[in-house]
Amino acid sequence: MPQTQTVDLPLAGSNRSLVDSTYSGGPERKKSTKTKKIVIAVVVLVVLAALVALSVRSSQSNVVAVTTSKVVREDITSVVTGSGEIKAKTYVNIGAQGFGKIVKLYVKEGETVRRGQKLAQLENVQSSADVNAQRANIEVTQKDLASADAAYDSSVAEVARDKADLEQKTLDYKRAQDLYNSQLISKSDFDGRKAAYDVAIASLKAAEAKVAQMNAQRASTSGRVSQANATLRKLTDVLGKTEYIAPFDGIVTNLPVREGETVVVGIQNSPGSTLMTLADMSVVTAEVRVDETDIVNVKLGEPVDVTIDALPDKTFKGRVTEIGDQALVRSSGVATSQTTAGTQEAKDFKVVVTLDNPPENLRPGFSTTAKITTANKTNVIGIPIQALTVRTQGDLDAQRAAVSGKKGAHPPTAATGNDSKNKKEIQGVFLLDKSTKKVDFKPVQTGIQGSTDVEVTDGLNEGQEIVTGSYKVLRTLKVGAKVKVDNSIAKKDEGS
C-alpha cells in the first residue's frame, strides 16, 4: 500500500491545521466539516436576529409610551376651598364711655357671663355727689312748685270772691239808681252805692291779674323742676357709665386692662379705650377667604365641611350665610375700594359659614379650613382632569391632513387668510383606537369639576379609552400618532 507522506508547506494558523487535518484523512475530516456548518448556521441566526431586532426597533422609534384609562360613569362633587378663622356671629368691643380709674374688674378673660351681669366699675365719687346734689335741688324746686300752686289756688279763690261781691254791688247800684230817679233816696246815698260798685270792679280786675301772675310763677317753677329732672338724668347717665354691664350672654375673649388703670374715651382699639371684648358663642361662624376665580360658584345656603386645626380628625357641618361683595387684596387684607391705586395682586372674597352644632370648647381665632360643596352630580360620565388638553383648530387641521396623506400639509400661519379660525382653541382628549394603536383628538364639552375628575357632557361615551398622561406627552401628542400603553407607572402611583 502506498504510504501517506506529510508535506510541510509554508502555511500559518488555521489554514495549516486545516491542511493537516485534510491530509490526515478519515473521521477527523468529517467532524471538522460538521462543526464548520454549525458555526456558520449560528452566525447566520445571530445576524438574522440582529436584523429583526433592528427592524423592530426602527419601526418603534416613533411609538410614544402613554398611560390610559376608561371613560366611566361616576359621582362628581365640585368643592371650593377657603381658609380663615373662627369668629362669633355677635361680638362687641366694650369701650370706655368716660374718663376714670378702674376700681374693680368682676370678670376674667375666658369667663362666661350672663346678660345684665356687672363687668367692671370705674371710680364714681364725683358723679355720685353730682347726682345726690341734683336730687336735693329737685326737692327744693318741687316745694317751690307746690307753693306756687297754692298761691295760684288762693288767687283763683279771690277772683271768685270778688266776682260775687261785684254781683252784689251791681244789684245795689241798679236799685239805688232806680230809687234816685224816683227821688226816694238822697244824692249822697246814690253816690256811695255807685262808688262801692266801682271798687268791686277794680277789685275783680286786680284779683284776675294776680291769678295770671300766680299762673306764670307756677309755670316758671314747673319749668325749673323739669330742668332739674333733665339735669338729674344727665348726671345719672354719667354715673351709669362708670358701671359696665354685659349686654348679652357670652364669653370674655379679650381683657387688655387691669384694675388701677385709667381709661379714656378715644378711638376704638387704642390703648385705654377698650376695656374688653364680649362674644356670643351661641352662634359660631367660620370667616374664610375664597379665591376670586372660585367665588362665582359659591351660593348662599350651600353645605360646607369645616375642619379646625385645634380640633384635628373632626369635621363640622355648616352653611354659607354671607358672601362678601368687596374684593380683598390677599397680601394686605385691605378692600380694593379702600385703596387709591389699582393692583394686580391676587384677590379674595370673604365668605361666612355658620356652623350647625359648634362644640362648647370652640374659641374665636381658631384657624379653620372650609370646603364648600358648590355642585354634586351622580352617575355622570367623568374623566381625569389631566386628560384634558387644548389644541388650535389650525394645528388639528394640519395634523389630520398629514395623516390622510395630503401633500403640502403644514401648520397654518397668519398669511393663510383665516387666522382667527386657525387660532381658535379647542378643548378635548386623545382617544385611543385599540386596533391600530393610534390616537385621535376628540373635542369634548365639560360640566362641573371635582378634585380629580371632571364631568363630560358631550363628546365621549362610557367605555372608551383615552390618554391620561404623561403631561409632557399630552403637550406634544399629535393626531394619528402611534402609541404604546404603559400603565405601570400610574398603578405604581396609585399603590403608593
Q: Is the pLDDT of residue 432 over 60?
A: yes
Average pLDDT over residues 58-87: 85
Nearest CA to 468 out of 449, 445, 489, 448 is that of: 489
Q: Inform me whether the pLDDT recorded for 20 exceeds 90.
A: no
Topology at the third CATH level for domain 66-75+381-495: 2.40.420
- What whole-number distance in Å separates Cα of residue 212 and Cα of residue 388? 99
User: Residue 336 has what DSSP assignment?
Assistant: G
- Asked if the model's pLDDT at residue 14 lies above 50, the reply is no
Confidence band of 185 (pLDDT split at 50, 70, 90): confident
Q: Which residue has the cell 348662599?
A: 300
Phi and psi (nearest 5°) for 376?
A: -150, 120
- Residue of 343 and 107 predicted with greater confidence: 107
Query: Which residues, including other chains, have CB under 8 Å from residue 447's CB and lie 6 or more apart?
Result: 76, 377, 380, 454, 455, 456, 457
Overall fold of domain 282-377? Elongation Factor Tu (Ef-tu); domain 3 (2.40.30)
Confidence (pTM): 0.60
Residue 49 has pLDDT above 80, yes or no: no
| pLDDT tens, residue by residue, 376-401 | 999 999 999 999 999 999 999 899 89
Report the pLDDT value the prediction gives residue 455, as an integer from 0 to 100: 94
Does residue 23 have a pLDDT over 80? Answer: no
User: For 109-122, what is each residue's pLDDT tens digit?
Assistant: 989 899 999 999 99
pLDDT digits (tens, 9 = 90+) for 297-332: 999 999 999 999 999 889 999 999 999 988 888 887
Q: Which residues of 399-431 are buried (b: 16+ CB within 10 A; e: fewer)?
A: bbebeeeeeeeeebeeeeeeeeebeeeeebbbb
Q: How confident is the model at residue 3 (pLDDT cuts 50, 70, 90)?
A: very low
Among the residue ranges 109-118, 119-128, 328-337, 356-365, the one predicted with the least confidence is 328-337
> Tens digit of pLDDT for each residue in 187-221?
888 888 889 889 989 998 998 998 999 899 889 98
Reply yes or no on whether the pLDDT at 351 is more than 50: yes
